Structure formats: structure tokens, C-alpha cells
Amino acid sequence: MIKVLAVGDVFGSPGMEFIRKNLRKIINAEQADLVIVNAENAHEGSGLDKYDADLLFESGADVLTGGNHSFRRYAIFDLLEKEPRVLRPLNFPPESAGEGYCIVPVKNGLRALVISVCGQVFMDPNDSPFRAVERLLSSLEGKYDFAVCDFHGEATSEKLAFMHVFDGRLQIVFGTHTHIQTADERLTDRGSGYITDIGMCGGEDSIIGVTYETAVPRYTQNIRMKGIPSKSDVCLRGAVFEIDESTLCCKSVKRIKYNEGNLK
């Protein structure tokens, strides 16, 4: 079996510090062969920089996926061009820096295609993730053994539609962006594993990672304050998928939650 560990949006310095201290322990506990981390909120809760990317790789990540905040830090453009394992959404404009996919060796000669895409519903305008992934799979036929996709999107319906369209062609599809882990993990008859959202790595005593003091005024007074990442009840949420090496089908999906209490 190949075990793929997917980590939800790492949110700001609390999430980064948890990753630094604990990701290796989690990788060992789950016996993960491939580690994919959504990093679009790693730097102060919005964007990614080289320091954060280096720290995530040093902590055990194999691939960093992106989202609608991927380009919030202009300094990331150079890294996107030089480091193929740092992804921005595939359906961003083709002139954008970097790539939306990479192919990485896993074990026993098998190759994983890892894709990052953004949704269109309630999100910034971009190309269709359906068309972008369809084109990519056609162009890479025979160059990989199984495929994993991080669908960074707001609407659960769009994520489910995406899973239906690529059922059996993408062996793993997981959602990110909402920071709320869903309880709908499933296996399909065509050999794919799916969960609508894997959650986040950050302070859970918060509003999707942001302190109450800086988030609530938006809803009660129509005042947008700079969001401060919460340091309260920091944990890591994500999912672990198992791929059968002989059939290349997904055989299990498991939601995970780690905090300091269950890592001792």
C-alpha cells in the first residue's frame, strides 16, 4: 500500500510552528509515503514565502499546493519558477508564474501526479478547473501511475461535481479552502477516494483560524480588520488515503486530527 497524507491549509505562524514541531511525528505515526500540504495561507494567514516553503519541506512535506491566495506575496514568484514542488492552481492564467502540477516518485518505481486547482463558484474568476484538468490528463497520459488533486474551493457542490467527472481517473480528490473538516469521506466503485474538505492546521478556537477579536467586527459592524492568527487550541487536520500498489485504486480514506495532547 501507498499512504498519502494530505494536510489542510496551514494558517499563519501558529500552524507553521505546529508543523515544525510535529509533522515528522505525524508522518511516522501514519507511515506516510507522500505528504501534500496546502500552503497558501502559511505566511501570516495569507500567501507563502520562501522561508515558509523551506520550513515546510524541511518538516517533511513533499509537495505544497496553492489556492486563491497563492500570489499574495510577490516574492513567491521566483520560487514558483525554480521549485516544481511548489504549486499554484492549474487553472490560473497560463502566463502566471509556476505550474499547477508536478509528478513525484513515491516508492517501488511508482509516480504520483499531484494537481492543484481552484474552484469558480464564489471565488475569483479563473479558467474552469474541469477543462484545465481534462487537458492536463490528456497531455500526461502514460507519464504517471496515480493522480492526486487538491480542489481549493468554496462550494461543496462544485467539489462533488468535480469528483463525479473525474471519478476513476483521479485516484484521490480532497478539498481545501473552507478550513472546516467535513465528515463525508468516501470510496467510489471506480477506485477513487474523496473528502469535501480536509480542514486546516491552525488555532481551532477561532473563526477559521482568525482570532474572534479581529474576525467578529466584520459581521457585527461591517468593519474589516487585519486578521490575527489564533494561537488557541492549535491542531492539524487532514486525511490519509491508501492506494493499492497493484490496482492503483484508493482503498481507504481516513480523517485525522492531531493536537499536542495526542502527539505525546
As annotated, the active-site residues are 69
CA distance readout (Å), 14 to 23, 45, 47, 204: 13, 10, 15, 11
Residue with cell 501514519: 30
CB 234 within 8 A of CB 15: yes
CA–CA separation, 192 and 164 (whole Å): 10
CB 1 within 8 A of CB 243: yes
Q: What's the chain's length in residues?
A: 264
Secondary structure element (H or E) that encloses residue 248, with its range: none
User: Hey, what's the cell of 11?
Assistant: 494558517
CA–CA separation, 258 and 93 (whole Å): 36
Q: CA angle, corner 185, sides to 183 and 189, nearest 5? A: 150
Neighbouring C-beta atoms of residue 264, cutoff 10 Å: 5
CB 117 within 8 A of CB 137: no
CA–CA separation, 50 and 176 (whole Å): 21
Neighbouring C-beta atoms of residue 230, cutoff 10 Å: 26
